[in-house]
Structure 1
Amino acid sequence: MFSLRLLPILFLFSAAPSWAAPSRIGISVGALDNPFYQALVRGAIQAAHHLNPSAQITSLSANFTLPLQQQQMRQLIAQKVDLILLGAVDSQAIAPEVQRAREAGITVVAVDVDAPGVDGTVKSDNRQAGEITCRYLAEQLGGKGNLLIQGGPPVSSVSDRIAGCRAALAAFPKMHALDGGNGLGSSLGGQRAMQQDLARYPAIDALFATNDRQALGSEKALDAQTHGHLLIGAVDGSPDIERALRRPGRIIASASQSPYLIGREAVLLGQKLQLRQPTERLIKVPVSLVNRYNLAQYQGWLSALPPIPKR
């Protein structure tokens, strides 16, 4: 588990003028015990302090619970923040709170997943993530077999990854997609979904889990039942999946995201929107596949990134 402490050795940003830079930023994301969101918040904090060294940042964990995130949005509106970074736990149901924030003059940037009515969005190319992972699984199976697609929370990133997976499998006529259960974005959820799907389907050759935690939980379920060899691919490129790829096991690949870069770019986009500068309102951060063969070159979520350009 990563700490939210800043790492000045890795990230050296020169001071920047604070004019027109956000002074109060609120962040609400799925769960701050998840290293993905920790890295995302770290990127946001460092970008904010680069733009305005005295910026105040409030980071909140919604614990993947819609009522809690709704309450957090109301809290941030009451605090009169300048900018909200929102990692929605339900891509559609959070819409009324987004509208209230914008009516209060607050810029809202969605991070990681879509949310209706926001000013801008920064997220991974999630369709690409599903495509490259499922293509790799299909290739490892020789282009034939049953691939279980395990769902997750009701957010756009999950639906985009599943759509990408199905698009990749369309190129393999002898691959059959199986509809899996909802892994709920967690290890325990993935474990339970896998247990249920093992009872539903007599033959499963591979699993696509929509995030790494679900993949790790699913692997536990398979190992407990001494199930035959079944390949697992996922999305995130997390430190846990790096460790899994270093040992023998069922997990063979994950499409790596860059949560630090998502958080950083979200703050920079927020400032551009507040200044009414011409800018793209949707930023998709590319992903890449990490597997056992390229793991030695993989720099992971905490790799040093180029400094933020002077403004």
Structure 2
Amino acid sequence: MNTRSKFLVAALALSTSLAAPPALADDISSVGVSVGSLGNPYFVALVKGATTQLKSDAPKASINALSADYDLNKQFSQMDSFVTSGANLILINGVDPQAVLPAVKRVQKAGAVVIAVDVASSGVDGTVQTDNVAAGRISCEFLAKKLSGKGEVAIENGPQVSSIIDRVRGCKEVLARYPDIKIVSDDQNGGGDRDLGFKVMQGYLVRFPNLKGVFAINDPEAIGSDLAIRQAHRQGIIVTSVDGAPDITVSLKDPKSSIVASASQDPYQMGKDGVAMGRAIKEGKIAKGTVRLMAPTLITRDNVDSYKGWTGE
């Protein structure tokens, strides 16, 4: 752990453990949260964590969480409305890491601190996210070993936010070390949800009769893919993913499921840390531009019984 990371961890611990000073409730008047989709349990858990931390830090403050639905214009409008309604801390799961910059600058000028959660975004005051490159690496390393280092593999992609780009990059770094593994597709967008993941997998099954493995960028896509494999009565395909969501534990315990592993995140803690970081930056306890990377953990059929799930769930 480098010096900046140690400093951040210490600052976050201090900011969450000490009682809120009398002026804090006035300082954090309201929090706005804009995420990809509240139809994804991951973001529901993130908002729950942020709400828990806010109740501790500023009991009188309000929180408003909205789905951007991966629509940049919609996210711009949400950020503006947050500030108009009095929010001075915004947690943003940026739809586009670069294009969101004008909205970030605009709300900062209005006095709001902006913390990126789950994905990186340009111009924000701080960032809390999983080490997504590492998540892609450990998930695809497990996939490669399960395939004994050979066979056709598809990378089921998703919305092009930084977290997904990083997961795919980490996966490709690992698979490149296995010359007998062939990536037959890496550009199909499963939308980060179950229904589109199902449709993408249906296409794979038609196009690639020798497909042996799939890396899905998140658990909803993996679950949709598993359903498509079952409905097609295909055998010998294995799936790995990222999230460690509650639903994935059911799949990992099901011997008929194609899903064999998921690199777990902790969205509940991420939401808590996003609010704590915003508070610490507002109080001058940590520097603007600080980034915290949370380490992922691989959940498999072998260790799923001891997996406690997301914090706060």
Query: Same fold, TM exceeding 0.5?
Result: yes
Question: Which residue, 17, 20, 24 being the options, matches 1:16?
Answer: 20
Take 1:177 and 1:18, find their aligned partners in 2: how far apart are those partners? 57
Stretch of structure 1 that moved more, 120-129 or 53-62? 53-62
- After superposition, give the CA deviation of every residue in 1:142-179 in whole Å (9 maximum; x if it has no partner): 11112111110010011000000011112222222222
- After superposition, give the CA deviation of every residue in 1:19-43 in whole Å (9 maximum; x if it has no partner): 3452211111112232111111111
Q: Which residue pairs with 1:289 in the alignment? A: 298
The answer on whether the counterparts of 2:36 and 2:70 sit within 8 Å (CA) in structure 1 is yes
Runs of 4+ that moved beyond 6 A: none
Q: 1:270 to 1:88 in 2, by over 3 A?
A: same
Matched, 1:245 2:255: no
Take 2:131 and 2:232, find their aligned partners in 1: how far apart are those partners? 35
Question: Which residue, 207, 216, 219 being the options, matches 1:200?
Answer: 207
Q: Which residue pairs with 1:228 in the alignment? A: 235
Matched, 1:276 2:284: yes
Take 2:133 and 2:310, find their aligned partners in 1: how far apart are those partners? 20
Q: Which residue pairs with 1:9 in the alignment? A: none
Q: Which residue pairs with 1:216 in the alignment? A: 223
Q: Which residue pairs with 1:25 in the alignment? A: 31
Structure 2, unpaired ranges of 5+: 1-15
Stretch of structure 1 that moved more, 27-36 or 133-142? 27-36
Q: 1:108 is paired with a residue of what secondary structure?
A: strand
Compute the TM-score of the two structures, normalised by the length of structure 2. 0.89
The answer on whether the counterparts of 1:62 and 1:69 sit within 8 Å (CA) in structure 2 is yes
The answer on whether the counterparts of 2:268 and 2:312 sit within 8 Å (CA) in structure 1 is no
The alpha carbon displacement at 1:77 in A equals 2.0
Q: Which residue pairs with 1:52 in the alignment? A: 58
Q: 2:270 is paired with a residue of what secondary structure?
A: helix
The answer on whether the counterparts of 1:246 and 1:292 sit within 8 Å (CA) in structure 2 is yes
Question: Which residue, 252, 262, 265 being the options, matches 1:257?
Answer: 265
The alpha carbon displacement at 1:202 in A equals 3.3
The answer on whether the counterparts of 1:124 and 1:284 sit within 8 Å (CA) in structure 2 is yes
Take 2:312 and 2:252, find their aligned partners in 1: how far apart are those partners? 18
The alpha carbon displacement at 1:89 in A equals 2.4
Q: Which residue pairs with 2:8 in the alignment? A: none
Q: Which residue pairs with 1:95 in the alignment? A: 101
Take 1:45 and 1:109, find their aligned partners in 2: how far apart are those partners? 15
Q: Which residue pairs with 2:183 in the alignment? A: 177
- After superposition, give the CA deviation of every residue in 1:234-269 in whole Å (9 maximum; x if it has no partner): 000001101111111100000000001111111111
Q: 1:300 to 1:16 in 2, by over 3 A?
A: same
- After superposition, give the CA deviation of every residue in 1:163-207 in whole Å (9 maximum; x if it has no partner): 000111122222222223110111111111112222332321100
Matched, 1:144 2:153: no
Same amino acid, percent of matched pairs: 40
The answer on whether the counterparts of 2:136 and 2:166 sit within 8 Å (CA) in structure 1 is yes
Q: 1:253 is paired with a residue of what secondary structure?
A: strand
The alpha carbon displacement at 1:106 in A equals 0.9
Matched, 1:116 2:122: yes
The alpha carbon displacement at 1:13 in A equals 7.9
The answer on whether the counterparts of 1:110 and 1:121 sit within 8 Å (CA) in structure 2 is yes
**Cα RMSD after superposing both structures:** 1.8
For 1:216, the aligned partner's letter is I
Take 2:60 and 2:312, find their aligned partners in 1: how far apart are those partners? 26
Q: 2:260 is paired with a residue of what secondary structure?
A: strand
Q: 2:128 is paired with a residue of what secondary structure?
A: strand
Take 1:278 and 1:110, find their aligned partners in 2: how far apart are those partners? 15
Take 2:204 and 2:210, find their aligned partners in 1: how far apart are those partners? 10
Take 2:155 and 2:296, find their aligned partners in 1: how far apart are those partners? 19
Q: Which residue pairs with 2:307 in the alignment? A: 298
Take 1:87 and 1:190, find their aligned partners in 2: how far apart are those partners? 21
Structure 1, unpaired ranges of 5+: 1-11, 305-311
The alpha carbon displacement at 1:71 in A equals 1.5
Take 1:18 and 1:227, find their aligned partners in 2: how far apart are those partners? 62
